[in-house]
Amino acid sequence: MTKPLMAKATAVWLVDNTTISFKQIADFCGLHELEVQGIADGDVAAGVKGFDPVANNQLDASEIEKAEKSPLHKLKLKFNAAALGEEKRRGPRYTPLSKRQDRPAAILWLVKFHPELTDAQIGKLVGTTKPTIASIRERTHWNIQNITPIDPVALGLCRQSELDSAVQKAAKKRAAEGAVMSDDERRKLVSTEQSLGMSTEPRMPSNIAGLENFSLSKPEEEEERSARDYSDAESFFNLPHGDDDEDDN
């Protein structure tokens, strides 16, 4: 713990009850010096009740005395043995209420395009629980028929760098386990930076391109075929009449 609890209320108490400089109070409470000056002028933290750091076991009275005597003295937060070993609570990331309805679409996108990701990785990226992910994977979600897969980065649920990092970890894990990946899966495991640096792969001609070529060449072929058929018919009907003339004579 580097800052006192209720830092602004603590600053209010120090301004009202001590002669410590604004700079010393700002450094101790993690505030800006001008903000502390605003508290003294009544422009900042109006109506905030002061929080006594001495009575709440956050600061020794001797520290205040030293700071009042020496403007260069920095207040030291009182050691709290109960704070040792305290770790940040682990769990799914917080998702704003406005974006929680988009999580099923993001989960479906990750399950569909990155099946190598574990439920724990998906839960960390999107901020959801394993039962929800399992319902999307098994298509037992109550609204599965109306869910459209959408990139979680586009939805603002995670960053592209976070998604790339999770995919790369999944790739290393699969490689260590000796799992064989298909070409499509290997292509998905490439990060954004690597994919941007790759050369363009040859693509099959599209249906439109094929139709364009067909539409351009078909009239010429029909004209040539018609001309050939016409010439054959003309040569058939314009046979020589030499034998008929001899019979008439």
- Contact residues for 107 (Cβ-Cβ < 8 A; gap 6+): 122, 126, 128, 132, 133, 136
Cα 128 from Cα 99, distance rounded (Å): 12
pLDDT digits (tens, 9 = 90+) for 5-22: 788 889 999 999 999 999
pLDDT digits (tens, 9 = 90+) for 154-181: 888 888 888 998 999 988 888 887 655 5
Element at 106 (helix H, strand E): helix 103-113
Instruction: Give the rounded percent of residues in the chain with a pLDDT score beyond 90.
Output: 21
pLDDT digits (tens, 9 = 90+) for 84-142: 554 454 555 666 666 778 899 999 999 999 988 999 999 989 988 899 999 999 999 99
Over residues 211-237, the mean pLDDT reads: 53
pTM of full prediction above 0.75 = no
The confidence score (pLDDT) of residue 159 equals: 86
Over residues 231-242, the mean pLDDT reads: 53
Residue 61 or 78, more confident: 61
Cα 134 from Cα 94, distance rounded (Å): 20
